[in-house]
């Protein structure tokens, strides 16, 4: 059927509710909108769904959530033992519009398929979901979130029994099951006798998670020493982080934490923040203003599902600057190594895990301390996979894992990036410098002097809709099929095409250019948004030289894009 036939089917079928039909009636005559909503199914990608909340097959709504869950249930039923299936699935959700409704739809659909569903009484963080999968020993997990996307979005991510998002082979098999569901009315609905299969989790699950997070503190006495006076401004950006982050900080000894009042409570509209992304300076506007008023030492922001963390620090001029994900990750790498050494806790088999688009700053620090570094594909599940293999073989131990997009995991209690434990360790690290009479910013400058000056930039090209998707494919194909000899008048000495399945990694649609001066450029389409991303990383004598290199490389990238357009 074409998109108009499917649209009319949704209008005419008794399966879809009156509210959905009313919404669809309101777009009658708007063929472009109808096409965009119905020309395809919302793609069940590498870990699940993400889309605009609205009626239609290419939108996220109660029906597409049911369909995704029925596909997951069918995969579990066909590919696991009875014992594994009976372990059930745990579901969490964030503060977004329809998150609770989607959580309940998923739970009821699982129960209708005879699979137990554990749900929390209200919103919870993504890392707690990852922890709960392992703690409850479930076969899978689901989290309803669209991370840091704008308010009109929501999403659905699937985790497997190890607590990490599903790996590509499982994701592909689940996708096949979802795609096999052509008729929404065949999805089973929960019967009265199945309602006991939906189980509400209690507060003991939260306490177990917080206790696991607290064990990651390295210098407990230091935290107690300065925790009363060291001042932190924190914002959960109206998401899930407020309760667990402030609880963890308080229980280890950080007693001077001020939460941004406008952003402390869950709000699906994010208190007017257009893009609740802790990577963006605008998202921290209120937090920085409050920090200036209070004379705070540190500003921490977590995204709505509390798996990413942004940090603003006071500079030598008294202004607050945002640290990049690469800077935070490198500083944490250094702090964990040095502090573990001081406490005689550093395992010689400890290994740093980072993604192929993450700076070499942290990797250089680890190697300088005679520790190994492993690179994985973009996506924290690949870091989680390494933790699992380390535990199974015993050849290595996990030191720390991070990615440039503000995701960090200290410890192995979760298998996804954890904004709660990262907030705790960032605070501890900042308190360590504070005790030495230094700011985090000054600590960063020290590391640059020791290891060299690193600078990175991510350039995102957003191209929405059918035409946008085609253009993204066209641009990356151009890069793949045409020899590019230089960027910034600097010779390309190597090109890695990860689509070929190289470096013992799964195949991925990523290109990475290595330049003669040690700089590199990576090109990859986003797995969750209609974006083509270019990652630029340089190393130089100082900030000015690095920024000049980046500007020249960006100009060269834009010239190539303009040629394709």
User: Containing H/E element for 374?
Assistant: strand 372-376
Q: Mind giving me the DSSP string for 116-180?
A: -EEE-SS---HHHHHHHHHHTT-SEEEEE--TTS-TTEEEEEEEETTSSBPPHHHHHHHHHHHHT
Which helix H or strand E contains 93, and what residues bound it? strand 89-93
Cα separation values, 434 from 23, 230, 427, 428, Å: 55, 8, 10, 10
Among candidate residues 331, 341, 400, 343, the one with its CA nearest the CA of residue 219: 343
Query: What are the φ and ψ backbone dihedral angles of 385, each rounded to 5 degrees?
Result: -65, -40
Token readout for 150 is: 């704008």
**Residue from 13, 99, 122, 147 carrying the catalytic annotation:** 147
Return the closest-CA partner of residue 512 out of 383, 375, 338, 373.
375
Beta bridge partners of 228: none
DSSP state of 519: -
Report how far apart, in Å, the C-alpha atoms of 452 and of each of 180, 352, 359, 538, 550 are. 53, 19, 12, 11, 16
Residues 229 and 256: beta-carbon distance below 8 Å: yes
Task: In whole angstroms, give the CA distance from residue 301 to residue 312.
Answer: 9
- Distance between CA atoms of 106 and 155, rounded to whole angstroms? 12
User: Cβ(506)–Cβ(168) under 8 Å?
Assistant: yes
Are 71 and 34 contacting, i.e. CB atoms less than 8 angstroms apart?
no
Task: Give the CB-side neighbour count of residue 30, counting CA atoms within 13 A.
Answer: 11
The span from the first CA to the last CA of the chain, in angstroms, equals 32
User: In this structure, are residues 46 and 168 in contact, taking their beta carbons and an 8 Å threshold?
Assistant: yes
> Is 427 noted as a catalytic residue in this protein?
no
Q: How big is the CA angle at 48 (ends 410 and 390), to the nearest 5 degrees? A: 35
CB 143 within 8 A of CB 129: yes
| CA gap 314, 301 in Å, rounded | 15
Catalytic machinery residues: 147
């Amino acid at each position: 059927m074409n998109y108009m036939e499917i649209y009319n089917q949704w209008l005419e079928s008794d399966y879809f509710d009156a509210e959905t039909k009313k919404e669809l009636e309101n777009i009658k005559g708007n063929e472009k909108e109808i096409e965009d909503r119905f020309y395809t199914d919302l793609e069940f990608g590498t870990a699940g769904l993400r889309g605009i909340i609205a009626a239609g097959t290419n939108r996220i709504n109660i029906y597409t959530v049911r369909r995704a869950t029925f596909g997951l249930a069918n995969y579990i039923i066909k590919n696991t033992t009875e014992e594994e299936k009976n372990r059930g699935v745990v579901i969490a959700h964030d503060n977004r519009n329809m998150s609770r409704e989607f959580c309940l739809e998923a739970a009821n659909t699982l129960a209708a398929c005879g699979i137990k569903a554990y749900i929390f009484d209200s919103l919870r963080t993504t890392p707690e979901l990852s922890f709960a999968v392992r703690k409850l020993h479930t076969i899978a997990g689901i989290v309803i979130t669209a991370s840091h996307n704008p308010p009109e979005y929501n999403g659905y991510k699937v985790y497997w029994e190890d607590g990490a998002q599903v790996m590509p082979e499982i994701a592909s098999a689940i996708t096949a099951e979802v795609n096999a569901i052509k008729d929404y009315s065949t999805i089973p609905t929960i019967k009265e006798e199945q309602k006991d299969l939906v189980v509400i989790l209690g507060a003991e699950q939260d306490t177990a998670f917080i206790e696991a997070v607290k064990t990651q503190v390295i210098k407990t006495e230091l935290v107690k020493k300065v925790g009363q006076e060291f001042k932190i401004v924190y914002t959960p950006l109206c998401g899930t982080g407020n309760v667990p982050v402030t609880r963890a900080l308080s229980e280890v000894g950080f007693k001077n934490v001020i939460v941004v009042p406008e952003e402390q409570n869950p709000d699906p509209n994010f208190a007017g923040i257009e893009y609740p992304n802790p990577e963006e300076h605008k998202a921290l506007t209120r937090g920085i203003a409050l920090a200036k008023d209070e004379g705070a030492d540190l500003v921490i922001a977590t995204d709505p599902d509390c798996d990413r963390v942004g940090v603003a620090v006071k500079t030598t001029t008294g202004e607050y600057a945002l640290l990049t994900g690469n800077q935070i990750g490198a500083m944490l790498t250094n702090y964990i190594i040095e502090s573990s050494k001081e406490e005689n806790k550093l395992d010689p088999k400890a290994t740093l895990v980072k993604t192929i688009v993450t700076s070499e700053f942290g990797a250089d620090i680890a190697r300088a301390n005679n520790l190994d570094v492993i690179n994985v594909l973009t996506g924290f599940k690949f870091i989680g996979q390494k933790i699992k293999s380390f535990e199974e073989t015993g050849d290595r131990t996990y030191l720390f894992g991070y990615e440039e997009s503000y995701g960090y995991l200290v410890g192995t209690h979760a298998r996804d990036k954890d904004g709660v434990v990262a907030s705790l360790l960032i605070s501890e690290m900042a308190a360590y410098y504070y005790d030495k009479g230094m700011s985090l910013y000054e600590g960063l400058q020290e590391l640059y002097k020791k290891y060299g000056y690193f600078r990175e930039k991510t350039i995102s090209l957003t191209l929405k809709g059918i035409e946008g998707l085609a253009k993204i494919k066209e641009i990356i194909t151009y890069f793949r099929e045409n020899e590019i000899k230089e960027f910034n008048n600097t010779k390309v000495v190597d090109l890695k095409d990860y689509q070929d399945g190289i470096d013992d990694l799964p195949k991925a649609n990523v290109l990475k250019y290595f330049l003669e001066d040690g700089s590199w450029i990576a090109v990859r389409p986003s797995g969750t948004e209609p974006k083509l991303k270019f990652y630029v990383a340089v190393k130089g004598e100082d900030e000015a030289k690095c920024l000049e290199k980046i500007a020249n490389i960006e100009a060269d990238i834009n010239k190539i894009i303009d040629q394709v357009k």
